Amino acid sequence: MIPRVHKRGTRTIGLLYYLYGPGTHEEHIDPHLVAAWDSLAPDPGRNPQATYTELQKLLDQPVEALVPSRRPAKHVWHLSVRAAPEDPVLSDEQWGEIARRMVAATGIAPDGDDAACRWAAVRHANDHIHIIATLVREDGRRPRLNNDAGRAQAEARLIEAEYGLKRLNTGDGTAAQRPTSAERHKAERQQRERTPREELRETIRRAVAGATGEEEFFDRLAAAGLLIRRRIAPSGDLLGYTVALPDDCNKDGEPVFYSGSRLAPDLSLPRIRERWSADGDQAGASVGSPSRTVPGGPAAARRGTASAAWQALIVIEQGDDPVAAAHIASAGEVLDALAKTSAAHTRTELREAAVAFERASRSHVRAERGHDRALRQAARDLVRGGPALGRGEDGATTAMAIDMLFFLVTAAIHWHAKKGHAQQAAAARQAAEHLRAAYQAAAAQPLGALYQRGRRLGRPLLQRQTSVLREAVPELAEQVLAEPGWYALAATLADAEVAGHNVTALLADAAGRRELDTAESVSDVLVWRLRRSADLPADTSNAVTADRGAERPASRTGRQVQGRTGPRRGLS
């Protein structure tokens, strides 16, 4: 059940016309009262003799009794309460009781207060009601409405439990503001997929991802086609900014501007500046050392992202809360940058993962910036590296990066759950599912090629890799050997052996440093961990680095064969 306190208004009659009217799309059906401050209040919906003006005058009577100078400028209070789509249809009596509980909880009409504000609850659909109240009590005083939205949410959680409705998570005031009903209806009329508020929020997030300062940030906003207004102090200092879509106009044909803080708490200019100031002299530093990829290219950026995500896991699991919060926030920047630069077959799921994780990136634990430079640098490198191809090293390193980010998001889930951040944990879980789908699309080709190479390994070499597996991770060996991905892992072990690594120690380290309980395919996870830590090429579609039946190879150079795509792999 979702209660929502709307902006206060000045005209009681105007809101009544809307509540009892047909709605903007004829969606209001049978509008009628279900409860009111007085059981004798007129109901224009069911009583042909009652009028909107009659109800308005009764509601406004305490306001009109005051001298004009004492009347509040905005005296109309409006709360909507909506049930979840899967909830049963409640009766008028049940909605009436819910309305009485809401006005009591918010301070409009506390239980037993005979001098409380006047109010009325109108139902014009099966799944919700609207409550209108006037903000002058019968005794001429103002109601105490401190945190009325929070108190309405708390009461909704109690109602859900008592009525057997869908249980929602309690908000903590850090969520971005949802689009208003007017914004949603306007978007529908204009046949927009999303409201301007949602589109602007995502565009700004992507512009912030990895940006090093104001000039780059505003250049990115302009390149995205947004209209920008800067708020300048008399001293010439920049105080803030607002943005608008060129084709989103009000009734006068003027663009509708939103400030960053109205779009999300962490998109105000002061909060964005915290990221830049904390970068310090590290802004130009690179992450990782992807020696086998083109410096500055998409594949190099994705290798750096995988390395940064791997290190961030340790911080989130073991670091102080403010530092962990900073890394979780920066993980959102990385997801935005990856979605912006990835190939078409992964872009949609990565974008959905970034949108979902946006809620998980904020909590009441204030992020201590500066320690998250590696992740912010990874986001910067992704943007500067440019779009990645869906195949070859670019595509394979995308799968590698997504795999590491999945575990980073999983660590964020656990961190939020321990802190009692229910909404953030749920958002991170949703992001993880989208990452899982993106991974499957990205990993199918490179893991398929490794699978085919592993199947072609000579029996002596395959037996040697089996012995390595049993020695390095005896507790996982039987599970891995039963997975289709074992052949891809065997090929990776052969590559690492050719590269001169102690593969037993390398495999034990890869398996022991992070949990594998959330892995659908342990062998897949180990493939990417090994290829990243051993600095092996992520894509081996055209390469074989070990003879089919040879003894331990002494050379780093292997023969070239054409690999075939194997079965599609699942994600960790």
List the CATH number of the domain containing 51.
3.30.930
**CB within 8 A of 294, min separation 6: which ones?**
300
Helices (H), 420-458: 422-456
Name 10's Cβ contacts closer than 8 Å, sequence gap at least 6.
73, 74, 75, 76
Whether 382 is covered by a domain: the verdict is yes
Q: What is the pLDDT of residue 540?
A: 82
Assigned domain for 400 exists: yes
Query: Which residue from 563, 460, 564, 567 is spatially nearest to 521, judged by alpha carbons?
Result: 567
Res 369: pLDDT: 84
CB-based contacts of 495: which residues, under 8 Å, 6+ apart?
531, 534, 536, 540, 545, 546, 558
Pair 332, 265 in one domain: no
- Is 259 in the same domain as 157? no
Is 171 within a domain? Answer: no
Specify whether the CB–CB gap between 531 and 400 falls below 8 A: yes
Nearest to 163 by CA among 79, 91, 80: 91
What pLDDT score does 571 carry? 56
Q: Is residue 430 part of a domain?
A: yes
Q: Which domain holds residue 143?
A: 2-163
Angle, helices 373-385/298-318, rounded to nearest 10 degrees: 160
Q: Residue for token digits 């077959």? A: 345
Q: Are residues 7 and 151 part of one domain?
A: yes
For residue 63, is it within any domain? yes
Together in a domain, 30 and 50: yes
Number of domains the chain is built from:
3
The three-state DSSP-derived secondary structure of 313-377 is: HHHHHHCCHHHHHHHHHHHHHHHHHHHHHCCHHHHHHHHHHHHHHHHHCCCCCCCCCCCCHHHHH
Q: Are residues 7 and 145 in the same domain?
A: yes
Give the end of a domain, one of 250, 281, 312. 281
Q: CB atoms < 10 A from the CB of 532, how many?
A: 23
Contact predicate 363/179, CB 8 Å: no
**Cβ atoms of residues 448 and 567 within 8 Å:** yes
All residue ranges of the chain with pLDDT < 70 are 24-26, 170-172, 278-295, 513-515, 542-572
Backbone angles phi, psi at 513, to 5 degrees: -80, -20
Is residue 539 in some structural domain?
Answer: no
Q: Residue 27: is it exposed, middle or buried by C-beta count within 10 angstroms (0-12/13-18/19+)? A: exposed
Answer whether 93's CB lies under 8 Å from 48's CB: no
For residue 102, which of 125, 77, 137, 85 has the smallest C-alpha distance? 77
Pair 10, 90 in one domain: yes
| Domain assignment of residue 172, yes or no | no
**Domain termination site, one of 385, 419, 442:** 442
Residues 267, 302 within the same domain: no
Do 263 and 312 fall into the same domain? no
Tell whether 199 and 337 lie within a shared domain: no
Provide the pLDDT for residue 179.
Answer: 85
Same domain, 258 and 330: no
Element (H, E) at 181: helix 181-189
Q: Tell me, yes or no, whether 296 and 265 share the same domain.
A: no
Q: 78, 92, 63, 90: which is closest to 18 by C-alpha?
A: 78
Q: Are 499 and 534 in contact, with CB atoms under 8 Å apart?
A: yes
350, 434 contact by CB (below 8 A): yes
What are the pLDDT digits (tens) for 296-325? 789 999 999 999 999 999 899 888 999 999
Strands (E) in 178-255, as ranges, are: 227-232, 238-244
Q: Is 24 in the same domain as 144?
A: yes
What pLDDT shows up at residue 284? 41
Q: Answer for the pair 428, 412: CB distance below 8 angstroms, yes or no.
A: yes
Q: Among the three residues 142, 163, 184, which one is the final residue of a domain in this structure? A: 163
For residue 101, tell me if it sits in a domain: yes
* Neighbouring residues of 567: CB distance < 8 A, sequence distance ≥ 6: 448, 451, 484
